[in-house]
Amino acid sequence: MVIEKRDIVIVINSRNQMFVNKRRKDRRLYPNFYGFGAGGRIEKGETPFKAARRELAEETRLKDKPKFLFRYKFSEFGTYQYIYEVITDRKIDNFEDEWQWSDWMEFDEVDKLSKRGKLAPDSTITYKKYRNLKKLNPL
């Protein structure tokens, strides 16, 4: 059995805000849920790092080098999630192929989305692990 691998690149700015997006309502997976940064499937023969750079460029047009943070197994789908981070103050346009909305958010606003169950399930787990890793105020 091949276990799928996915990546998420968390994008933060110097004002300590997170780049957040709302998935389009016609998406097969988690329509109308919020997520953050950029991410997707790691293709066969592609390293997690190369996939993170590719997804970041495709979805945000950023060419920054992502920093690896951690990996975990997402039990809902049995996938491995590779989590990266990029810090930038560049403008990011909405990626209309996947998102109906995107913008920078304060962490307390993202906390509220998480508490109300508005983050996609994989984003919820990733966000909690990220907050703990960064020793940010708990949810």
Domain ranges (residues) in the chain: 5-133
83 residue type, one letter:
I
In this prediction, residue 77 carries a pLDDT of 65
Q: Match 């990266």 to its residue by tokens.
A: 84
| Average pLDDT for 9-22 | 96
In total, the chain counts a number of residues equal to: 139
pLDDT at 139 over 80: no
Proportion of the chain above pLDDT 70, given as a percent: 94
Beta-ladder partners of 71: 82
| Residue 2 clears pLDDT 70, i.e. is over it | no
Asked whether the beta carbons of 120 and 33 are under 8 A apart, the reply is yes
Q: Does domain 5-133 have CATH number 3.90.79.10?
A: yes
Distance CA 77, CA 73 (A): 9
